[in-house]
Amino acid sequence: DVKVTQSSRYLVKRTGEKVFLECVQDMDHENMFWYRQDPGLGLRLIYFSYDVKMKEKGDIPEGYSVSREKKERFSLILESASTNQTSMYLCASSSPAAGHEKLFFGSGTQLSVL
C-alpha cells in the first residue's frame, strides 16, 4: 500500500513564525501535492510538483512556498505564519503510471496559528 506520511498531526505556531510542514511518500510517485482543507471550502490546491526540483503554483499559493529536493519528500513552507493560515493541511502523491488523478493522501496536519 502507498503510504504518505506527514511529520506532524498537530502544530501550534505563533504569528510571524516560519513553519515547515514535511511530507514523505514511499511509492516512488512522481507527483506530489499540498492542499489545505477548511470547513465549507473543501480542498484547495496550494502547490504541486511533477518532478524533483520542480514546483507549480496551485490555486492559493500566496503566503506559501515549497521545496522538493528529493523525489520522496515535498515540504510546505510558511515564511511568516498568519492567523488566516490556520487550517488542515493535506499532502498527496500520485503517479502517471497509476493515473495522475488517483491521489493518495496523508492523514493531515492541523495547524493553528495564534
Q: Interface with another protein by CB under 8 A: which residues?
A: 4, 37, 39-45, 48, 56, 58, 88, 90, 92, 99-108, 110
Minimum distance, C-beta of residue 39 to another protein, in the bound complex (Å):
4
Alpha-carbon distance of 7 to 24, in angstroms, equals 8
What lies within 8 Å, CB to CB, of 75 at 6+ separation is 20, 21, 22, 23, 66, 67, 68
- Which residue's CB is nearer to another protein, number 78 or number 108? 108
- Residue whose cell numbers read 503510504: 3
DSSP label at residue 74: E
Minimum distance, C-beta of residue 2 to another protein, in the bound complex (Å):
10
Nearest to 50 by CA among 68, 35, 36, 37: 68
Minimum distance, C-beta of residue 29 to another protein, in the bound complex (Å):
14
What lies within 8 Å, CB to CB, of 96 at 6+ separation is 30, 31
- Which residue's CB is nearer to another protein, number 18 or number 56? 56
- Which residue's CB is nearer to another protein, number 16 or number 96? 96
- Which residue's CB is nearer to another protein, number 19 or number 106? 106
Minimum distance, C-beta of residue 60 to another protein, in the bound complex (Å):
12
